[in-house]
Structure 1
Amino acid sequence: MRLDAIQAQQVLVNGQFRPATLTLDDGRVTAVGPLDDVPAGEVHRVPDTAYVVPGVVDTHVHVNEPGRTEWEGFSSATRAAVLGGVTTLVDMPLNSVPPTTTLEGLAAKRAAAQGQLAVDVGFWGGAVPGNVADLEPLWDAGVFGFKCFLSPSGVEEFPPLDRAEFDAALAEVARLDALMIVHAEDAAILDSTPAPGSRAYRDFVLSRPDASEVSAIRQVVDGARETGARVHVLHLSSARAIDLIADARAEGLPLTVETCPHYLTFSAETIPDAAPEFKCCPPIRDAGNREALWQALQEGLVDCIVSDHSPSTVEEKLKGDGDLQQAWGGVSGLQVGFAVLAHEARLRGIPLERLSRWMSTSTADLVGLSRKGRIAVGADADLAVYDPAVELHVEAARLAHRNPISAYDGLRLAGRVVSTVVRGELVDVDQVYHRHGRQLERPSS
């Protein structure tokens, strides 16, 4: 349904909730007026218990199409997104075949996404051994930056960069004034750490120690210092890297950092053994580590929160019959991440407006989408309506994700997204969605 206006008692404008009428036209917000405005046309009046926030901008999603569409495809991923209040996502360059490491790979992605999108979608490029010459053409074609791994990615077609390859790619990224986003685990430390086959979650955590993250992040910081390149640390799991991050910030280095809902929700002590739905790399660590990540967000040392939605087939997740070294590593949570963290933030006394900044404004700013992630005149009319009075019981089998396995299965949350607006189109979460999402390119500077 195309909306002309939306009215609510609690609308997040300029960092504060207030009563407001939003006037919409051609997919954008054209006015932010008082609640007693009487708009013409189709008006969506939000329940008094609900909050209107900018749609979530999730800059870390593995869609996997083409090539591994049975893991997740554009249709299922973007439907899950819109049902969870995510109105924009940026797709990772790996787990699809071909990966987005060449113009041909990008073209394959764009062709696969055509006509399937319920939300707006952009694309990351990839930096792998031997493709430095491909980075500039990909950048010119509109990717939002480049992802690399410093340890094996889990798929053969997207190998990691060694130190010399990383330095060469980073120098090119600096020349382009692009952004390098890094899976920061040190391959040498991982190789030297015992990783026995085991069903025990404790053994899996020990096989991917904090030291691996700290060492790799130090390499990223050193690279930023040497080249001036903008760098972004993906899915920070270890709070032991926070002092290093703080020092880099104090030095003025162009470093940003993200973390994920699963690191902010779960703790290693409570994860059962032989439960591969919780396996991800880097791993979920202990409860003290979790609370330190929340503190780092509040102190501004971690900039944003993204899903790192990294699904696979059930068969891949259950490979090894509970042996966590054999199971696919990734958490499926695109549809529920915002509701999960709204619940967790409330338990900690963290206001919804701060959570929205971490999941919408900061992520939009990271990739230069100035019309996303905020409610303001001229911004895209991308909105999520979140109602803390409506309980959400997460059932993996009922999520829109292609495969019914998720670490969040069974959670009961105080609050859910009850409706989503994508560029002025109202999507009722209990109704069939329409494919009105667009493919995005990086805004020209």
Structure 2
Amino acid sequence: MSRKSSAPQSGPAKLDVGSEVTYVRSNQVVLDNTIGPAEIVISDGKIVDVLPKRNWARPSGEKILDIGDLVVMPGIVDPHVHICEPGHPSCEGFASVTKAAAAGGITTIVDMPRHCCPPTTSLSALDSQFQAAKGQCHIDVAFWGAIVPGNQTELLPMLKAGVPGFQCFLMATGAENFSHVSLHDLHVAMNELQDTNCVLLFHAEQEPNQPVPVLEDTAEYSTFLDSRPDTMEVEATLTIAELCLQYQIPCHIINLSSAQALPIIKDAREQGAPITVETTHHYLSLTSECIPPGGTYYKCCPPIREKSNQEQLWAALQVGQIDMSVSAHVPCFRDSKEQNNGDFLKAQAGIASLQLGLPLFWTSAKCRGFSFHNLVQVLCKNPAILSKLEDRKGSLRPGMDADLVIWDPEKEFEVKKDIIHHKCKLTPYLGFQLCGKVFATLVRGRLVYMDGKFATKAQGELLVSERQMPTKNPSPYY
């Protein structure tokens, strides 16, 4: 699939991290329909042309990045990242998150609404996030809003201010200022949002009809797994599918863990529901059988399930039943994970993995026959569509933002704490041998990361321009 990588070269002008690049050349450029030698021509942060090798320009004094046989792909779009700013100055903020993202080849993230304080449930809270993020972002950042009981009058103002959609929970979140919604709340919100250009994101778990007894050792992962059975996802998915069919508002299921919910999604799509679904890198890389007693850094909701379930997720991803894989990065610190003495039921949920998404996915995907085009669809194009950014992100073609990841798909490395750039170093992937190392990341034509170094100045944009709200919004997936 890929040839031995040659050493990158820059010229004729010297390129430092932070430089604007005019030409990027590689023998392996992943375009919409081909992979091969190409020169990407960049001006004012946009791709203005893509030239075959025979037409490569030879200008003098221009900033050319010639990276030989390294792969050039569209920058990765991660639409599911949790940032704790504003409100939690000691936790993960925009600066550390976006640096880690850049080191992982991610050029755009969309911040989830729950972990900041106040959460993004109102226009004023959204403005607080804008103010906190200004001048701190090394890559481009967009923001989701949230639906909570009683905030229906805030939804249209937030939509107009630039959020692409709204997240909600169907069961208790554990956060006092972020309540889950009832069926009545959803009908109110969906009536308010009908015929608008937005998407609703659902954390698809519902409380079981009968309480699940917890009788086993809470330091054993099996106890936590038994407390959140597949039926919680299945019942939630049924609810979401019915609402999606009724209102025809695009609905997106986040954090899909259970393959048992997939037939419901497939059936809803066949009936005309504009419903999409993501899974996460940890559901595709980790299995419940391998989680050690007390290893609460593996805890996430929904839970990591068994190997047979994981294989079904991979199979669904290969045939397009699952649209994308995301990090669902939650910055959990060691003391918050370990202060409960390895108790899975008390420990904070969430896995830190943002920087590792591309190599995690590729390490498993390449063994299953995934191509570079498959990667672009799952990690770039579909997330850009979900985030309403497909007009500028997710593809390498004229008119698009010059967002690129340059990486070596054959390079192996070990995950160690000293290579992780997000604040939370505690991750299940420590010690993993992964394949696929990022060499450089460009955001709108500027080198924000290269060979372990970062641009000194954060110049990422906040993607919050006012959105048009058409009278109809058919899902672009179908």
TM-score, normalised via structure 1 length = 0.97
Counterpart residue number, 2:165: 145
- Does the 8 Å contact 2:80/2:327 carry over to 1? yes
Deviations 1:187-244 (A, max 9, x none): 244x711245601111111111000000001000111122222111011000001111
User: Aligned pair in 2 of structure 1 residues 306, 348: CA closer, same or farther (>3 Å)?
Assistant: same
Kept in 2, the 8 Å contact 1:398–1:404? The answer is no
Structure 2: gaps of 5 or more residues: 1-18, 470-478
Q: How big is the shift at 1:39?
A: 4.2
Counterpart residue number, 2:57: 38
1:338 paired to 2:361: no
**Residue 260 of structure 1: which of 231, 256, 280 is its match?**
280
Retained in 2: the 8 A contact 1:319–1:326? no
Alpha carbons 1:310, 1:331 under 8 Å: kept? yes
- 2:48 aligned with 1:8: no
2:459 alignment partner, SS class? coil
CA contact (8 A) 2:25 2:68 kept: no
* Contact residue 319 and residue 328 of structure 1 kept, 8 A: no
Residue 292 of structure 1 corresponds to: 312
Is 1:23–2:41 an aligned residue pair?
Answer: yes
Q: Is the aligned partner of 1:395 residue 2:416? A: yes
Secondary structure of 2:263's aligned partner: helix
Aligned residues: 443
In 2, the alpha carbon distance for the partners of 1:39 and 1:140 equals 45
Check whether the contact 1:173–1:179 (CA below 8 A) recurs between aligned residues: no
List aligned pairs for 1:74-223, cutoff 5 A. Answer: 74-189=94-209, 192-195=211-214, 198-223=218-243
- Select the residue among 64, 87, 92 that pairs with 2:84: 64
Q: State how far apart, in whole Å, the 2-side matches of 1:375 and 1:199 are.
A: 47
Please say which of residues 192-201 and 94-103 is displaced more in the overlay: 192-201
1:444 aligns with 2:468: yes
* Structure 1 unaligned regions, length at least 5: none
Match of 2:267 among 231, 241, 247: 247
Kindly indicate whether the alpha-carbon contact (under 8 Å) linking 2:208 and 2:231 is maintained by their aligned counterparts in 1: no
Moved more, 246-255 or 165-174: 165-174
| 1:278 alignment counterpart | 298
Give me the whole-angstrom Cα distance separating, in 2, the residues matched to 1:96 and 1:314.
Answer: 19
Match of 2:458 among 404, 413, 435: 435
- Residue 276 of structure 1 and its aligned partner are, at CA, apart by 1.3
| Residue matched to 1:304 | 324
For residue 409 of structure 2, give the secondary structure of its aligned residue in structure 1: strand
2:402, 2:442 within 8 Å by CA — same for their partners in 1? yes
Cα shift readout 1:116-154 (whole Å, capped 9, x = no counterpart):
000000000010011011111111111110000001223
**Could you tell me how far apart the structure 1 residues matched to 2:58 and 2:460 are?**
26
SS at match of 1:121: strand
Indicate how the Cα distance of structure 1 residues 46 and 154 shifts in structure 2: closer, same or farther if over 3 A, else same.
Answer: farther
Residue 305 of structure 1 deviates from its aligned partner by: 1.2
CA contact (8 A) 2:75 2:380 kept: yes
TM-score (norm 2): 0.90
The separation in 2 between residues aligned to 1:285 and 1:15, in whole angstroms, is: 35
Q: Where do residues 343-358 of structure 1 align in structure 2 (5 Å cutoff)?
A: 343-358=363-378
Q: Distance in 2 between matches of 1:39 and 1:321?
A: 63
Deviations 1:18-63 (A, max 9, x none): 1100000011111100124124310101132x21011000000001
Q: Distance in 1 between matches of 2:444 and 2:415?
A: 27
SS of 2:109 mapped into structure 1: strand
Bigger Rg, structure 1 or 2: 2
Cα deviation digits, residues 148-172 of structure 1 (max 9, x gap): 0001223211110012112222222
1:294-322 deviation line (CA, Å, top 9, x unaligned): 11111111111111001122211223110
CA–CA distance in structure 2, aligned partners of residues 432 and 224 of structure 1: 43
Report the secondary structure of 1:301's partner residue: coil
Q: SS at 1:390's partner residue?
A: strand
Structure 1 residues 177 and 21, CA, compared in 2 at 3 Å: closer, same or farther?
Answer: closer
User: In the TM superposition, what is the alpha-carbon distance from 1:432 to its structure 2 partner?
Assistant: 2.8
| Matched residue, 1:422 | 443
- Equivalent residues of 2:332, 2:351 under 8 A apart: no
Task: Tell me the secondary structure at the aligned position of residue 415 of structure 1.
Answer: strand
Give deviations 1:408-444, integer Å, cap 9, x for gaps.
1111112211111111011214113230100002653
- SS at the partner of 1:80? helix
Of all paired residues, the percent bearing the same amino acid is 37
Distance in 2 between the 1:377 and 1:432 partners? Answer: 27
Larger mean CA deviation between 234-243 and 173-182 belongs to 173-182
* Partner secondary structure for residue 109 of structure 1: helix
Q: Please state whether the residue corresponding to 1:315 is helix, strand or coil.
A: helix
Runs (4+) off by over 6 Å: none
Please point out which of 362, 387, 393 is paired with 2:382.
362
